[in-house]
Amino acid sequence: MTQNTLTVTDNRTGKTYEIPIENETIQAAALRKIKVNPDDFGLMTYDPGYGATASCKSSITFIDGDKGILQYRGYPIEQLAEQSNFLEVAYLLIYGELPDKSQYEKWVYDIMHHTYVHENMARLLEAYRYDAHPVSMMISAIASLSTFHNEAKNVDDEYTRNRQVMRILGKLPTIAAFTYRHRIGRPYNYPNSDLSYTANFLYMLDYMGQTSYEVNPVLAKALDVLFILHADHEQNCSTAVMRNIGSAKSDPYSAMSGATAALYGPLHGGANEAVVKMLTEIGSVDKIPSYIERVKKGEFRLMGFGHRVYKNYDPRARIIKKIAYDVFEVTGTDPLLDIAIKLEEVALSDDYFVSRKLYPNVDFYSGIIYRAMRFPTDMFTVLFALGRAPGWLAQWIELVTDPEQRIARPRQIYLGAADRDYVPMDKR
């Protein structure tokens, strides 16, 4: 009968070790017993970017990168995008099951009645220059929410955690809308709990005092689906940060501020903004071949392409591409879409991308939709953060309630100077 173990021989000593295999992994700590001398630290793994390292056991999101599969709590993303809505998906991610009618109604009521922020928060945002990047404003605003809710530090109490979950999901769209209104020099629109989650967000962004203002339901629905598609993505960079900060028992506002900062990077959630800049720089379909050649020379990356996990088409990109057409029905089309479609076609027929399994990811088409909806490019990552918030919260709760989790503290391979004595200034 085959053993579920790894037999390792250390050729430095000829010793053999049996290491248990569980869930297709081995405990890195098991390598510590492999030593040459008894007082050695023992072996570790070296894995920059954690490409082959599991940091946790999770039941929230499943991705099969080779098959292009994405599931939230076992439900395929395609079905959730088609049949669910963002707040219901947020409930699913955080509590593990789809809510029944009364649970759902209470959940929506609670969130839509936690949309107001303290007036000091509104004043805080006004301290920024008119051209402050909205993601930078979000990072500090989310952190400052912890100053209004001191009890949030009590991360081991379920009731307290749930209250912060409602506050964060309720208040983030308000903060996001306020950053936008501050930047365009317009008065804030305060939340309207009679509207749906995304309709209220669009209202806070756009309302200019019209007597007959109505949020366009097609755009509210498109944004709702986009938020579903961004809601979680297992241990991506920003979620790993949420978990790392959470592992020190910091409050969820401080942890989410860090996660938003990680999302800001152009290699992560900032890619949607970079995609639109790239498509605008390409300018026309006939310029695509020369641009692709420069990418292949390594001058820069094709933004919105490639993924650490997906070595196939990102299933979210496929859905987003379809949403684009619904939005363009309302907003009118965007020539960038034609460039993006042609760019995808050229790249996917070029061995440089095919051999590296580089396909469009979630960011490749989302920026075009946001632009068509008249969002300024520097709001794109803010929208990504609004979508990802329930995923960050679900992962944070799973972390703080996981008995196997400890404070995150990786080791290192020290290659620096050996011990040496201090040299006085006159001797240097």
Q: Which is nearer to ligand SDX, 152 or 343 (CB)?
A: 343
- 318 is a contact residue toward ligand SDX (CB under 6 A): no
Of the candidates 223, 222, 18, 238, the residue with the CA atom closest to the CA atom of residue 138? 238
Q: Which of 73, 114, 167, 307 binds ligand SDX (CB under 6 A)?
A: 307
Regarding 273 and contact with ligand SDX (CB under 6 A), the answer is no
Do 384 and 269 contact (CB within 8 A), yes or no? yes
| Residues 314 and 361 sit within 8 Å (Cβ to Cβ) | yes
Which range of residues in 77-85, 88-96, 195-203, 354-362 is near ligand SDX by CB under 6 A?
354-362
CB 388 within 8 A of CB 168: no
The 10 Å CB-count burial string (b at 16+, else e) for 74-88 is ebebeebbeebbbbb
CA end-to-end span of the chain, whole Å?
67
To ligand SDX, the closest distance from the beta carbon of 316 in angstroms equals: 7
CA distance 397 to 288: 45
Closest C-alpha to 373, from 166, 202, 153: 202
Q: How far is the CB of 202 from ligand SDX (least distance, A)?
A: 23
Choose which of 155, 302, 337, 340 interacts with ligand SDX (CB under 6 A).
302
Residues numbered 147 to 176 that lie near ligand SDX (CB under 6 A) are: none
Asked whether 188 and 178 are in contact (CB, 8 A), the reply is yes
Q: Which of 363, 366, 387, 395 binds ligand SDX (CB under 6 A)?
A: 363
Q: Which amino acid does the sequence have at 128? A: Y
CA distance 164 to 106: 16
**CA-based nearest residue to 138, from 125, 150, 148:** 125
**Cβ atoms within 10 A of the Cβ of 331, count?**
18
- The interface region with ligand SDX, picked from 105-113, 304-312, 398-406, 414-422 by CB under 6 A, is 304-312
Indicate the residue among 199 and 362 with the shorter CB distance to ligand SDX. 362
Active site residues: 268, 307, 363
Closest separation in Å from C-beta 62 to ligand SDX: 13
Tokens of 272: 């949607």
If the CB atoms of residues 125 and 255 are measured against ligand SDX, the closer one turns out to be 255
And the tokens for 234? 């297992």
Kindly tell me which of 100 and 351 has the beta carbon lying closer to ligand SDX: 351
236: contact with ligand SDX by CB under 6 A: yes
| Residue of closest CB approach to ligand SDX | 306
Q: Which of 268, 311, 318, 342 binds ligand SDX (CB under 6 A)?
A: 268
Q: Near ligand SDX by CB under 6 A, which window of 66-74, 204-212, 241-249, 261-269?
A: 261-269
Binding residues for ligand SDX restricted to 195-214, rule: CB under 6 A: none
- Consecutive H or E run containing 15: strand 15-20
CB of 357 to ligand SDX, least distance (A): 8
* Contact footprint for ligand SDX (CB under 6 A): 49, 233, 236-237, 267-269, 271, 295, 301-309, 356, 358, 361-363
